Amino acid sequence: MSTWLITGCSTGLGRAFAEEALARGHDVVVTARDVAAVQDIADARPDHALAAALDVTDPQQVEAAVAAATERFGGVDVLVNNAGYGYRSAVEEGDEADVLRLFDTHFHGSVRTIKAVLPGMRSRRSGTIVNLSSIGARRTGPGSGYYGAVKAAIEQMTMALRTELAPLGIQAVVVEPGSFRTDFSGRSLTQSATPIDDYAETAGRRRKENDTSDGTQPGDPVLGARLLVDAVDSGEAPYLLLLGDDAVDIVTGALDDLRTDVDTWAERSRATGF
């Protein structure tokens, strides 16, 4: 069995990932900014679960969580970077401080935890790093430019990481969930403070006050977690793991559209050399 460290376990997919890994017999460090939000998971399986406070924007808390995992279970075998939240804003509306905070949480927060666990994984020549992305990295709708951008950054970083770590026996995986029945479109969704009227029919339609998807999403977090743990346990997880029927449809459609664009301009693209 392996030791997992999962960020953002208080609700949604993060909690489902933790509960599924524990059900399979793995040891799990369950984390949240407010440790009380995950203490029930640890209390239910005291021999295999450890609750730890972790704000991924705080380097000291990142180091402390990995140290606690090492002290209790001997090290981290699987890191799941799940912590994060949604942000909707037309590009022009986006507040710089909000965007910096978004990137610090999603991108730099993931990098912090990766750097903290890699020395141990390299010494053991084994491990898996799972970075949560989004279908928004493939097809970004109005109002999701910043969120799609931070997830695309995570995917490209993970692609490089996968090639860097493969010779060391360590896997790096991107997970793109579709729409799952979590609070992502509710409590976890933030947005620009001041909308601009000219974007009312584009980005404005996807503001929280106009979004009716919360509670009706098609994805089941339990089944999504089951697939993720299956992939990690197989030892042959792909670079890109899609969760959800909608994720498969959206990503394959985006790839088809991209291929059409490339093919349409390929001859002229090739004719630009000396």
Single out the residue of 243, 233, 227, 235 nearest to residue 135, CA to CA: 243
Rounded Cα distance, 201 and 210, in Å: 11
3-state secondary structure of 81: strand
Tokens of 222: 């339990």
- Is 76 in contact with 121 (CB distance < 8 Å)? yes
| Most distant CA atoms of the chain, gap in Å | 67
133 is catalytic: yes
147 is catalytic: yes
3-state secondary structure of 63: helix
Single out the residue of 157, 164, 160 nearest to residue 110, CA to CA: 157
Q: Considering 146, 147, 185, 192, which one is annotated as catalytic?
A: 147
Query: CA dihedral in degrees (163, 164, 165, 169; nearest 10)?
Result: 70
Q: Considering 133, 134, 185, 192, which one is annotated as catalytic?
A: 133
Q: Considering 134, 151, 179, 192, which one is annotated as catalytic?
A: 151
Continuous segment of H or E residues that includes residue 86: strand 86-88
* Cross-strand partners of 170: 127
Residue type, 192: S
126 is catalytic: no
Which residues are marked as active site? Answer: 133, 147, 151
